[in-house]
């Protein structure tokens, strides 16, 4: 087990979602590690073909176990810190609200909208649920997305051949919408009218919690469907699986690159603590 | 008790709210039935003057017991499924946000806005709160409102004499706003600006949960007050009771029609399940 | 301990936030009193230089103990009622969303936006979480802000010398945004687009709960930073403390005035109770 919760940030971690979990688990050389956290053990996977410590966290478990509302976000964030994470890349398949954005392309998330800042159980999205010496306000000087890490990722992708699956589109504003159901037509219309361009039922909670733990974050997503009034939901169980697979494939190359080339960056937000 | 949770959907169920509960209970020939659910027993009432199984669920209990934030929505949805429900009509007294819509008329709900998708206790509005073999995403191909059931209700009302209480107005977009307080002027202004035309503190949770259980739903509501900046709240305790009674009366005729003539329709949404 | 929960409303209470807690505690002549509530004991402080009973509640505890998401709002509201409170003034340091509003001036809150009406733990913001004889709907005839109390405060400040710290600006619409993190740029843009002019992570829950307990409320706030896209978060830990101190100072004079001159006003909202 990993217990060194406060080691120097030398590792990189990627979170992968429902689109690419099983496929990646088979193609990558991963070693499962159990990490003890105050909210139970978490299995995180070490990626072996990297010079620095590099880890993958399967957001829904592997095999797929948790619906979006069942994900143990606090335990996940804690386990990520325990690796000594200095750069977190979160990925997700998303619904696209803005019809001019392409499906199945990498979309750089510039900002997050999570209006109620709550975990799936309804409680405030924070590690600091109880009074303690360490607790404080996360003050977003840099934003939830690290400017340094976003630059690093853009440069990393620019160095690759200019294939469709390594061109970074956007940037886009991501809205967090609680699961586990898809949104109604009117709900999607409202999120678009508020400025959101993509949405999904995950990603934002882990980004907020990781920032509270001092971890610089970035998020790159891929649209697996349009969530616009004119478009329709996938026709059947089968076609939804297919569209998730497509968005998973486009994200797989990115995650591999990041695990092999990603580097820690400085944390530029602030945990503000009151002192008597 | 009813235990046949998976029988063929042959029944119809109507949910009634605070406007018409006591009045209906006295005028209808109802037989109370207790249904065991994972969240406690639920009393549902069988309506005897119908050829098919037809049931009424009193949302707030009878006599009135639960404020909107106290309603056991999961138990209710489970009990409705246990009846073998193939068509659920949910009714509610609502506040009207759009001043051109009439009070005390039947309003056909075309879509629901429930931005945070949470139950009153804050947890995600889902039957699938814990990992299980059956859990999945509710994918809204048809929407929360069944197109088939909405058509059936419209036809049913069209066949009646063209009296005020059988003319279906709208369609309207319904916003779910948590209780148990009325909204502030600014909150109502915001909901209107987001496209909502009516709102209430109930209805949406039971519609989401019923859809997760494979039950086709429709909702018809009646406005008992205007919730617009220019209008005022009812003057006193007494006038609020009166306005609720009026909206209850307009809904009573509809519910009777549905219990006697309503028929199951196919469920056209999808529960998407991940498989390893 | 105070147990007389139902005495005539003869007291005034002021709630103070993180900006001025320690400073006030030292400068005022306060006597700590423990009040038993169904949610644990609450310490409230009696202000001695007033003819009528006057109390201060330190929202975050004193010394500062609770982050916004840790505040025991229900216990606080209950303790305030136990004083026999007939006028509650709630104050807060806020972020300013509308760039034409000044920093460090008294801003009169005319209305509150708290779209999900939930406490930090996710549950409905209500004293009436369980069925009881007393429970009911808070019907906002007067609004969450008492018109009488707002007038009283305006008159009180008008009688003072026309210094910067006794001029009441606004009125403004206040949005409640859950903590304990600051908002993203996009979130603040959305709140502004919805009509909110200031926001903070506190204040609204205590106002809603106090109204449920029949207590007339007003809120006056002061901006300690701009939360607009063009402005930046405070540069460092130190500058945030400084900006909170400034907004605290401007509120301190107001609170003193209110404790010495404030008077109970009639409660003009309604608790609507259903009767079988």
- pLDDT tens, C30-54? 999 999 999 999 999 999 999 899 9
Q: Which chains touch C (3 or more CB pairs under 8 A)?
A: A, B
Inter-chain CB proximity B272 and A240 less than 8 Å: yes
Which residues of chain B neighbour A235 with C-beta distances below 8 Å?
A: 141
Q: Which chains touch B (3 or more CB pairs under 8 A)?
A: A, C
Please compute the mean of the pLDDT values over residues A228-256 and round it to a whole number.
73
Q: State chain C's mean pLDDT as an integer.
A: 91
Q: Which two tokens stand for residue C236?
A: 């460092």
pLDDT at A276 over 60: no
Closest chain A residue by Cα to residue B145: A184
More confident residue, B39 or A236: B39
Q: Best residue in C274, C275, C276 to probe B by mutation, most B CBs within 10 Å?
A: C274
Predicted local confidence at residue B222, as pLDDT: 95
Rounded CA separation C239/C230 (Å) = 18
Give the one of B116, B272, B274 whose C-beta lies nearest to A178's C-beta. Answer: B116
Which residues of chain C neighbour B58 with C-beta distances below 8 Å?
A: none
Predicted local confidence at residue A168, as pLDDT: 94
Q: State chain A's mean pLDDT as an integer.
A: 91
Inter-chain CB proximity C276 and B66 less than 8 Å: no
Residues of chain A with pLDDT > 70: what percent? Answer: 92
Q: Which two tokens stand for residue C200?
A: 């903070």
Distance in Å, alpha carbon of C117 to nearest chain A alpha carbon: 10
Q: What is the pLDDT of residues C99-152, one digit of tens each?
A: 999 999 999 999 999 999 999 999 999 999 999 999 999 999 999 999 999 999
**C215 with C88: CB under 8 angstroms?**
yes
What b-and-e string marks burial along A59-93, b requiring 16 or more CB atoms within 10 Å of the CB? bbbbebebbbbbbbbbbbbbbbbbbbbbbbbbbbb
pLDDT band (50, 70, 90) for residue C245? confident
Question: In terms of Cα–Cα distance, which of C115, C159, C150 is closest to C221?
Answer: C150
pLDDT at A220 over 80: yes
Inter-chain CB proximity B139 and A18 less than 8 Å: no
Rounded CA separation A101/A254 (Å) = 19
Give the one of A113, A144, A274 whose C-beta lies nearest to C64's C-beta. Answer: A274
Inter-chain CB proximity A135 and C67 less than 8 Å: yes
Predicted local confidence at residue A246, as pLDDT: 77
Inter-chain CB proximity A140 and C65 less than 8 Å: no
- Within 8 A by CB and 6+ apart from B275, the residues are A64
Which residues of chain A neighbour B267 with C-beta distances below 8 Å?
A: none
**A142 with A265: CB under 8 angstroms?**
no
Closest chain B residue by Cα to residue C131: B66
The CA-atom distances, in angstroms, between C94 and each of A30, A220, C105, C132, C227 are 48, 33, 11, 36, 9
Predicted local confidence at residue B73, as pLDDT: 98
pLDDT at A167 over 50: yes
**Half-sphere exposure of B121 toward its Cβ, with a 13 Å CA cutoff?**
12
Give the one of C65, C67, C178 whose C-beta lies nearest to A116's C-beta. Answer: C178
Distance in Å, alpha carbon of C269 to nearest chain B alpha carbon: 10
Inter-chain CB proximity B117 and A178 less than 8 Å: yes
**B118 with B41: CB under 8 angstroms?**
no
Please compute the mean of the pLDDT values over residues A61-67 and round it to a whole number.
92
**C43 with C76: CB under 8 angstroms?**
no
Rounded CA separation C178/C180 (Å) = 7
Distance in Å, alpha carbon of B20 to nearest chain A alpha carbon: 29
Rounded CA separation C228/C225 (Å) = 9
pLDDT at C235 over 70: no
**A119 with A44: CB under 8 angstroms?**
no
Q: Which two tokens stand for residue B49?
A: 């003057």
pTM value is 0.94
Give the one of C178, C179, C186 whose C-beta lies nearest to A173's C-beta. Answer: C186
pLDDT at A235 over 80: no
pLDDT band (50, 70, 90) for residue A8? low
What count of residues does chain A have? 276
Inter-chain CB proximity A63 and B121 less than 8 Å: no
Inter-chain CB proximity C124 and B180 less than 8 Å: yes
Predicted local confidence at residue B177, as pLDDT: 97
**B104 with B112: CB under 8 angstroms?**
no
pLDDT band (50, 70, 90) for residue C9? confident
**A258 with A55: CB under 8 angstroms?**
no
Q: At what angle do helices A73-82 and A204-212 cross, to 10 degrees?
A: 50
Which residues of chain B neighbour A60 with C-beta distances below 8 Å?
A: 274
Burial of C4 by CB count in 10 Å (0-12 exposed, 13-18 middle, 19+ buried)? Answer: exposed
Please compute the mean of the pLDDT values over residues A162-188 and round it to a whole number.
93
pLDDT tens-digit profile, chain B (276 residues)? 344 445 568 999 999 998 776 777 778 899 999 999 999 999 999 999 998 999 999 999 998 999 999 999 999 999 999 999 999 999 999 999 999 999 999 999 999 999 999 999 999 999 999 999 999 999 999 999 999 999 999 999 999 977 778 899 999 999 999 989 999 999 999 999 999 999 999 999 999 999 999 999 999 999 999 998 766 555 555 677 767 777 788 899 999 999 999 999 999 999 999 864
Give the one of C124, C194, C273 whose C-beta lies nearest to B178's C-beta. Answer: C124
pLDDT at A237 over 70: no
Q: How many CB atoms lie within 10 A of CB C163?
A: 8
Distance in Å, alpha carbon of A66 to nearest chain B alpha carbon: 6
Inter-chain CB proximity B233 and C270 less than 8 Å: yes
Inter-chain CB proximity C113 and B65 less than 8 Å: no
Q: Which contiguous run of DSSP H or E holds residue C80?
A: helix C73-82
Q: What is the pLDDT of residues C165-202, one digit of tens each?
A: 889 999 999 999 998 999 999 999 999 999 999 999 99
pLDDT at A240 over 80: no
pLDDT at C3 over 50: no
Distance in Å, alpha carbon of C197 to nearest chain B alpha carbon: 12
């Amino acid at each position: 087990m990993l217990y060194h919760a406060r080691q120097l940030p030398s590792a990189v971690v990627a979170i992968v979602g429902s689109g690419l979990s099983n496929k990646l688990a088979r193609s990558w050389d991963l070693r499962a590690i159990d990490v003890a956290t105050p909210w139970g053990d978490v299995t995180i996977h070490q990626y072996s073909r990297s010079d620095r410590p590099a880890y993958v966290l399967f957001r829904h478990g592997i095999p797929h176990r948790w619906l979006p509302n069942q994900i143990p976000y606090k335990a996940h964030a804690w386990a990520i810190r325990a690796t000594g994470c200095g750069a977190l890349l979160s990925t997700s398949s998303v619904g696209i609200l803005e019809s001019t954005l392409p499906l199945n392309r990498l979309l750089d998330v510039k900002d997050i909208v999570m209006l109620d800042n709550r975990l799936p159980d309804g409680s405030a999205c924070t590690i600091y649920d109880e009074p303690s010496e360490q607790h404080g306000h996360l003050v977003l000087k840099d934003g939830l997305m690290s400017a340094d890490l976003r630059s690093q990722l853009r440069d990393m992708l620019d160095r690759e051949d200019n294939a469709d699956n390594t061109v970074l589109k956007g940037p886009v504003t991501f809205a967090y919408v609680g699961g586990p159901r898809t949104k109604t037509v009117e709900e999607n219309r409202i999120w678009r009218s508020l400025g959101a361009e993509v949405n999904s039922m995950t990603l934002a909670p882990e980004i907020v919690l990781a920032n509270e733990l001092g971890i610089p974050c970035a998020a790159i997503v891929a649209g697996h469907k349009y969530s616009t009034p004119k478009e329709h939901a996938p026709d059947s169980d089968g076609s939804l699986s297919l569209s998730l697979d497509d968005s998973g494939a486009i994200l797989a190359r990115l995650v591999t690159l990041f695990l092999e080339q990603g580097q820690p960056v400085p944390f530029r937000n602030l945990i503000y603590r009151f002192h008597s």
